[in-house]
Each structure stands twice: as structure tokens, then as C-alpha cells.
Amino acid sequence: AVVSTQSTGSYQKNFFSAVIAIEKKEYEAAQDLINQSRETLDQEITVIVKEGYHRLYTKIVDMHMLSEMEEVVAFKKGYYSNCRENKTESEMINKRNERKDRLREVWWQRLQGCQRNVNDWSRILEVHKLVLSPKEDERAWLKFSSIARREGRLDLSKRILLDLIGK
């Protein structure tokens, strides 16, 4: 069953539908839903731009996540198109790992520009998990654990650390 890409719906509905489409390997549908999410956000930003930095910042984080969702789609499409080419398994794995390394670094640099709060980091890192496991993105998850600890979210901090060590 193909995920519906009709242009109705809220940002969140389209965003989460895009995640589902990615999981189902329906990359064109995912891209359409990402585009619809961006259009909805553009309209929301236009309305709230004068309401203050905090509300606007939340929408900017949403835009950040959409950009990274597009990178997830490009990564996944590239991986599966490589599978159809005449490449050895070793070549495909090396290419996939190189692309993961690039994404990890780009995403880490972007995270450095984000406010250090649990809500924003948790949302962004969930997008990253579509490509990178927490163990593959250990630096970001350790920083997230530290942010959680500083915010008094000790249970969350502990759970992140335990997940990283496999317990």
C-alpha cells in the first residue's frame, strides 16, 4: 500500500507520513510529503514571524528536520540504486559507510548550532536514527545524554547511556 501524498493535513501528519513512507521504501512519496510539510511550515512561519523568537525557533527546528529528512531519502535512494548496479558487496558497504560518515559529520555540525535542550535534540536525533544507529552516532547521543542530565532528566540520561553500552 502506497502512502497517500494528498496535500491535505498538518505539518505533523505529513512529516510522520513521510517517516512511514521512508520505512516502506516509498521514497518518492516521502519526498512529496516532505515538500508538503515544508509548504505548511512556510505558511505557519509567515503568520508567526512577528510573535517572537521562541515560537519561530521551533519552526526553524522543524525546517532543519525536513532538510535532514531529505538527506535521509537521498541516502536511502542512493543505497538502493547502488544495489542495482554491478558492484561487489564490499564496494557497496564501503560506499554506504562513506556516505554515513559524511552525514554524521554534517549532522553533528548542524547540531552545534541548535539550542541545547532535550526536546529539540530528541526530535532531531530521531530523524538521524533513520540512517545512523545511536552507536553509529555516539558523539551526538553522548552530548544528548549530557543535555538531559543538565536539564535534570536523569532517567533519560541514564537510559541513553545504557542503550549505548547495550544494556
Its pTM stands at 0.86
Dump pLDDT digits (tens) for 106-128: 999 999 999 999 999 999 999 99
| Alpha-carbon radius of gyration of the chain | 17
pLDDT band at 153 (very low <50, low <70, confident <90, very high): very high
Percent pLDDT > 90 in the chain is 72
Does pLDDT of 155 surpass 90?
yes
Give residue 2's pLDDT: 40
Give the CA distances from residue 80 to residues 5, 24, 130, 165, in Å, rounded to whole numbers and listed in that order: 22, 13, 15, 30
Task: Give the distance from CA 145 to its chain's centroid.
Answer: 18
Give residue 35's pLDDT: 96
Give residue 52's pLDDT: 80
Dump pLDDT digits (tens) for 34-93: 999 999 999 989 888 888 888 899 999 999 999 999 999 999 998 656 555 667 888 888
Residues 25 and 80: beta-carbon distance below 8 Å: yes
Q: ∠ CA(45), CA(47), CA(48), 5° rounding?
A: 65
The pLDDT of 155-165, averaged and rounded, is 96
Does pLDDT of 1 surpass 60?
no
Those residues with Cβ within 8 angstroms of residue 126's Cβ, 6 or more apart along the chain or in another chain: none
Give residue 119's pLDDT: 95
Those residues with Cβ within 8 angstroms of residue 41's Cβ, 6 or more apart along the chain or in another chain: 11, 59, 62, 63, 66
